[in-house]
Amino acid sequence: MRILGIDTSCDDTACAVVEDGERILSNVVSSQDWLHERFGGVVPEIACRAHMETILPVMQQAADDAGVDLRSIDAVAVTTTPGLIGALLIGVTAAKAAGWALEVPLIAVDHLQAHIYAAWLADDKPALPAVSLVASGGHTSLYLTQGPLRHELLGSTTDDAAGEAFDKVANILKLGYPGGPAIERVAAEGNPRAVEFPRTWLAREGFDFSFSGIKTAVLYHCLGQNASKEDIARADYSPEFVADVAASFQQAVVDVLVGKTCAAAERTGAAGVIIGGGVAANGPLRRRICEDASRMGFKVTPAPLELCRDNAAIVAGLAFHHHAAGEIAPLSVAASP
Ligand code: KG4
Ligand code: ZN
């Protein structure tokens, strides 16, 4: 069964064709990073306009790359939640039109479940039950996962998402957008023990996260209290200073993400650990979770590197399981943020 997947939940326009939930025939992502870079973050109106302009060419490209005619598609799947509402609507509208025109079923997919499903597209399947960490620009959540469609929320961020913290700290350090890859790159040259940034554990026995404190701590460390936007714009740091702050910040975030994920796996008696979402592309995070969780006896299945960031192969893959479970969406299905 060939499913066309569509994801426009944030700032990437993505379409993919996946066969039987596991063979990726194509995976096209049109990145808007260059449009949002000078604003230091995603501007929803700009994202929406770019989605409108690119969704049809990206859909056609996904069919061409897969070597299939769109008329041979068996179902159309789309992310309906969560995300930027205007951005989601464009993908959902395109999916409805395609499903109706091609006379095939429409399947609604949850973006966070799709990030977890990336682990099923790895060479080695995840061990279940698993504790799944989804860390992206908009979310940081832990789930107890029993299957591709069965996730129980254990905890989530009470303020900023982990990726958002990477983006904001990159902005303070003047490293550009998106911040995660830029921080990882310069952190490789720095000392992760140079600055002792706070690790916010909240209730030790709970699984919620908080990343706004560390962002403020970085700002105070770099520019003191009461720093304005102009101070950030005028700042002139040495490359060594930036590398040390980036490395120390990254280390603190990784400590918390890995610490909470391992604690959750232990408490729930899970057999495996899954990580997905844009932040799961982070090398030090992948290494630490593999080391620590494996040492504790959990089988770790990180999302394949190329499927961490937003894409539609994870949407089309997960949709296969919805279809098998008879979960077809009506043409009236709504997008929700
Ligand atoms: O999953 P994603 O592509 O989009 C959302 O659903 O939000 O995640 C994007 C986020 C951004 O905040 C970006 O800075 C972060 O993932 N990110 C990283 C890395 N690559 C992307 N964070 C840390 N290290 C990375 N290598
Ligand atoms: Zn995402």
Higher pLDDT: 185 or 41? It is 185
User: According to the model, what pLDDT value does residue 278 have?
Assistant: 97
Can you tell me the mean pLDDT for 139-152? 98
**Residue in 166, 167, 211 to alter for ligand 1 test, most ligand atoms within 8 A of Cβ:** 166
Indicate whether residue 180 lines ligand 1 (CB < 6 A).
yes
SS3 132: strand
Can you tell me the mean pLDDT for 244-261? 98
| pLDDT band with cut points at 50, 70 and 90 for residue 38 | confident
| pLDDT band with cut points at 50, 70 and 90 for residue 191 | very high
User: According to the model, what pLDDT value does residue 33 have?
Assistant: 86
User: According to the model, what pLDDT value does residue 319 have?
Assistant: 98
Mean pLDDT of the chain, nearest integer: 96
In this predicted structure, the answer to whether residue 5 has a pLDDT above a threshold of 90 is yes
In this predicted structure, the answer to whether residue 204 has a pLDDT above a threshold of 90 is no
Residue 246 Cα, ligand 1 centroid: separation in angstroms? 15
- Name the token pair of 123: 């060479």
pLDDT in tens, 290-322: 999 999 999 999 999 999 999 999 999 999 999
d(CA 206, CA 203): 5
Residue 49 Cα, ligand 2 centroid: separation in angstroms? 19
d(CA 81, CA 289): 28
d(CA 311, CA 295): 31
DSSP state of 197: P
Residue 277 Cα, ligand 1 centroid: separation in angstroms? 7
**What is the identity of the amino acid at 13?**
T
pLDDT in tens, 272-295: 999 999 999 999 999 999 999 999
Indicate whether residue 278 lines ligand 1 (CB < 6 A).
yes
**Residue whose tokens read 């698993």:** 130
Strand order in the sheet with 106-110: 23-31, 12-19, 2-7, 75-81, 106-110
Angle at 108 between CA 155 and CA 268, to 5 degrees: 25
In this predicted structure, the answer to whether residue 188 has a pLDDT above a threshold of 80 is yes
User: According to the model, what pLDDT value does residue 87 have?
Assistant: 97
Residue 163 Cα, ligand 1 centroid: separation in angstroms? 5
Indicate whether residue 138 lines ligand 1 (CB < 6 A).
yes
Q: Whose CA is nearest to atom 23 of ligand 1?
A: 180
Residue 278 Cα, ligand 2 centroid: separation in angstroms? 6
Can you tell me the mean pLDDT for 60-85? 97
User: According to the model, what pLDDT value does residue 277 have?
Assistant: 98
Q: Among 74-78, 83-87, 106-110, 176-180, which stretch is predicted with the lowest mean pLDDT?
A: 176-180
Indicate whether residue 310 lines ligand 1 (CB < 6 A).
yes
Task: Report which ligand 1 atom has the smallest distance to the Cα of 11.
Answer: 4
User: According to the model, what pLDDT value does residue 327 have?
Assistant: 98
Task: Report which ligand 1 atom has the smallest distance to the Cα of 139.
Answer: 7
Q: Among 37-41, 179-183, 302-306, 320-324, which stretch is predicted with the lowest mean pLDDT?
A: 37-41
In this predicted structure, the answer to whether residue 162 has a pLDDT above a threshold of 80 is yes
Indicate whether residue 99 lines ligand 1 (CB < 6 A).
no
In this predicted structure, the answer to whether residue 249 has a pLDDT above a threshold of 80 is yes
Residue 124: CA atoms inside 13 Å, Cβ hemisphere, count? 9
User: According to the model, what pLDDT value does residue 267 have?
Assistant: 97
